[in-house]
Chains A and B, each alone.
Chain A
Amino acid sequence: MDWVIEAHNLTKTYMMGEFEVQALRNVSFNIERGEMVSIMGPSGSGKSTMMNTLGCLDRPTSGEYILDGESVSEMNDDQLASVRNRKVGFVFQSFNLLSRLTALGNVELPLRYAGITEGRRERAQAALEAVGLKDRMTHRPYELSGGQQQRVAVARSLVNNPAIIMADEPTGNLDSKVGKEIMNLLLALNKERGTTLIIVTHDPNIAEQTQRVIRLRDGELDVTAEDKGRKK
């Protein structure tokens, strides 16, 4: 199997004042390259911690996490930044675009941090074309609708050709019609480009559209429910 994500016994412990909180307990699973997975669970189930760990924003307290062949559990901050830059694309619930920059500028950002200067503009333009925003490239975020802003965010997430795209409630701030459009865009990108897609959501309708659902409960995999949403 060609695994893009291998997680072995991931454990994450926080100190909440005096108390130790285990956000993840010995979670192990693999995700295949090109797969489309949703992570579900009630609030407090460790969903966000899981996303932060898989997105290399945070390190697990123990356990091993291998992303696209690189073991990231022991990396330092700058190495993590580099891995995020090359291998992870993020789509956030609240878009998180920089209001000073144009759509093009926002999409160019990951390329800037990758140190790419040649062909940067062209790659960003291509990404924006891929999400259907060819004629909105020089607009700033406040000149765009919510759906268009999220499209810019999707373009930004795929401009570096990452191994995985992490989408955290990508439709959470959008009405159902626009949300559906964004989901269709993500599905199409997964299908056409074969980009591995991980969607963190609490919406069963979203989860239904993915190939597999990873359910979390109290920081552990909810194995009984794991393959319910699978449609292949």
Chain B
Amino acid sequence: MSFTQAIFEALESLNGNKMRSGLTVLGIVIGVAAVIAMLAVGNGAQASITGSISSIGTNLLFVFSGSADGPPGGPGSGRSGNNDRPLTLSDADALKDPFAAPSVELVAPAIQGNGTLTFAGENSTTTISGVTPDYAIVRNMELAEGEFINQENILGRMSVVVLGPESAIAIFGHADGVVGETIRIEGQPFRVIGVTVAKGGGAFGSEDNAAYIPFTTAQARLIKRGVRDEVDVIFIQAVSAEAVPSASEEVSNIIRQRHRTPIGIDDFTVFTQQDFLSTFATITGVLTIFLGGIAGISLLVGGIGIINIMLVSVTERTREIGLRKALGARKKDILLQFLTESSLLSLIGGIIGIMFGWLIAFVVGKVATATGNNFTPIVGTDAIILSTSFSAIIGLFFGIYPASRAANLEPVEALRYE
């Protein structure tokens, strides 16, 4: 018997028991659809996070004080009561040295704290950052209206503020036409000179819910630190994305020298955007595997449905098998017949499941967009290939046992079966 004949016969036989075939296929459809949809959601989440990290600039580095390795340090944990020296403005200035750090283009030290914005009785607590003019360039920041903090503001320790759109909406009710207004931060009056363009969620929470004031103003009036000229984080822009590793190396060397720390026991941490990307990629990767695994279980259950129905089918058709053997069917003919049936069941289920899973992913994306989340599930070819081959393998694997049972029936016994 040729293969096309086997497929044709299998289709005929599956068609002869539509209800049963349909329900068995449904099990696989649900399994494959779940895998496709879950992987799509996982990939979408990954792409969305990767995208938001990328939006902070591909050639960005962060320097925090505190060691990333030994306890109780960690990125952003600051000085932890041990002998770590804090980062200072002079550290930041040293990084601007074009000879010691040729890969560094811009350096933007910042100091951060929480504060309450007030305007006409409306309150909003937000992150207050004391920044320099380069901050806007380093962080890819664009202004919807007004201007960013300039050198004059820094030198004059002026009471001016650039608001994120969310903060502006929180206290004004709208984000446009607020330049020139005067608000109070922690009770002190500040004049609004600009509003940034909405960016969505970022690696450090929303950059839209923020207020930026001149570094010197923050240092002198709002955010007190124990050491003079202390900064919380230094943002560095490398000359190019390729120069990020060498910039990281140069920055580390300079600060090591200035802090006089022994090699290997740094009291600071240089983080690149790549580090963030890989960290989040690991997290979302685990998430995707987890979701896919759960969906895979339903695919497995679908496979058990196949083995179940094929066993029933073999028992029911014992006489048919006996007859076919009497007419000259060899073991492999019978094996092929039943394997073709089970594989077709799972293949059909797989194809419908892919379309169904695609639909689910599409709907999830629509719902996410409708509720204001910038999130698009991605149905990748890898997910399609994975679930198709997985379902075909399931069809084969779960078909083998019933099929070999059929193939090994004794013709005499099978013909006598009632």
Contact = CB atoms under 8 A, between A and B. Distances in A.
B112 to A, nearest CB: 76
A57 B2 CA distance: 24
Interface string B275-311: 0000000000000000000000000000000000000
A82 B330 contact: yes
Nearest to A109: B327
Interface in A76-94: 77-78, 81-82, 84-86, 90, 92
A81 B330 contact: yes
A148 B16 CA distance: 23
Nearest to B15: A100
A114 interface: yes
14 contacts: A57-B415, A58-B411, A77-B330, A78-B330, A90-B326, A96-B415, A98-B320, A98-B323, A110-B328, A112-B1, A113-B327, A113-B329, A115-B1, A156-B327
A16 to B, nearest CB: 14
Contacts of A84: 325-328
A52 interface: yes
5 nearest CB pairs, A to B: A85-B328, A113-B328, A81-B330, A78-B330, A110-B327
Contacts of B323: 92, 96, 98
Interface of A: 52, 55, 57-58, 77-78, 81-82, 84-86, 90, 92, 96, 98, 100-101, 109-110, 112-115, 117, 156, 160
Contact of B329 (A81, A90, A92, A101): A81
A96 B333 CA distance: 19
A129 to B, nearest CB: 20
A82 B412 contact: no
B230 to A, nearest CB: 85
Given A77-B330, A98-B323, A113-B329, 9 more contacts: A57-B415, A77-B331, A81-B330, A86-B328, A92-B415, A96-B415, A112-B1, A113-B1, A114-B328
Nearest to A80: B411
B155 to A, nearest CB: 92
A109 B324 contact: yes
A109 B324 CA distance: 8
A58 B328 CA distance: 13
Interface of B: 1-2, 5, 12-13, 16, 319-320, 323-333, 410-412, 415
Contact of A112 (B5, B12, B326): B5
Contacts of A78: 330-332
A53 to B, nearest CB: 10
Contacts of B5: 112
Contacts of B411: 57-58
A125 B258 CA distance: 99
Contacts of A112: 1, 5
Contacts of A58: 410-412
Contacts of A156: 327
A145 to B, nearest CB: 20
Contacts of B331: 77-78, 81
Nearest to A52: B412
Nearest to B17: A100
A96 to B, nearest CB: 5
Contacts of B329: 81, 113
B9 to A, nearest CB: 9
Contacts of A81: 325, 328-331
A55 B322 CA distance: 13
A228 B325 CA distance: 35
B279 to A, nearest CB: 59
